[in-house]
Amino acid sequence: MDSALHTVKHEIAATAARLVVEEGLEYGPAKKRAAKQLGLPQRTELPDNRLLEAAVREYIGLFCADTQPAELHALRELALLWMERLAEFRPHLGGAVWHGTATRLSDIYLQLFCDDPKSAELALIDKGVDYEPRTVSGFNGKPVEALSFNSRCDALGEFIGVHLMVYDADDQRGALHLDDQGRKPRGDARAVRALLSGSADA
């Protein structure tokens, strides 16, 4: 990579990191808006998620070190609450809440592995949850159904977006392959409890 492209990618990542942390944007939209804010051509090569995550961690360390740990803890507690409520679907936590870069503006992403894909919807209906179904791209590259709703987080005093990605039970085998950084991309309730107790790292 030439030095100019290297510099541009880092500038985009730094700007996008601020948007992720301060506005709660997802990585994809944050990178595109950052490039636009920097006045770069539409076809400018964007930084990968690994570079952006490093920039997010740096931004949090510089500007949110006094508030982010407590916010992350509250989000993980809320995630665990829903994992326990939906235990029959073998829930796994992913995204920023799992990896430790979440703030109070971050949503919670849970992957469910169901023998019957409609059973998760029925469980939410039974619990009186007002959810919105949609189709998103899953971790295996295939479209999956997502069930999205807001859940009150008392520790933060606000509602947090919770997204349940509904997979077939067989997909669980591929869910725990390490990512390109050698990390677990998601964890079950036991792993989340370990994070909350401070006895493990994501």
pLDDT per position as a tens digit, 63-76:
999 999 999 999 99
pLDDT given for residue 99 in this prediction: 94
Residue written as token pair 């209906």: 125
Rounded to whole angstroms, the Cα distance separating 67 from 118 reads 39
Is 182 in a helix, a strand, or coil?
coil
For the chain, the structural domain boundaries read 3-63, 68-197
CB 65 within 8 A of CB 158: no
Output the DSSP codes for 18-81: HHHHHH---HHHHHHHHHHHTT--TTPPPPPHHHHHHHHHHHHHHHSTTTHHHHHHHHHHHHHH
Rounded to whole angstroms, the Cα distance separating 114 from 107 reads 22
CB 134 within 8 A of CB 148: yes
Query: In the chain, which stretches have pLDDT less than 70?
Result: 1-2, 174-176, 199-202
pLDDT given for residue 136 in this prediction: 87
- Per the DSSP assignment, residues forming a β-bridge with 146 are 134, 165
Cα atoms in the 13 Å half-sphere on the side-chain side of 93: 30
The CATH homologous superfamily of the domain defined by 68-197: Beta Polymerase, domain 2 (3.30.460.10)
CB 27 within 8 A of CB 52: yes
Q: How many CB atoms lie within 10 A of CB 160?
A: 21
**Which one, of 49, 78, 60, 46, lies nearest residue 157 by Cα?**
78
Rounded to whole angstroms, the Cα distance separating 137 from 76 reads 23
Average pLDDT across the chain, whole number: 92
- Contact residues for 74 (Cβ-Cβ < 8 A; gap 6+): 104, 153, 155, 156
- pTM for this structure? 0.89
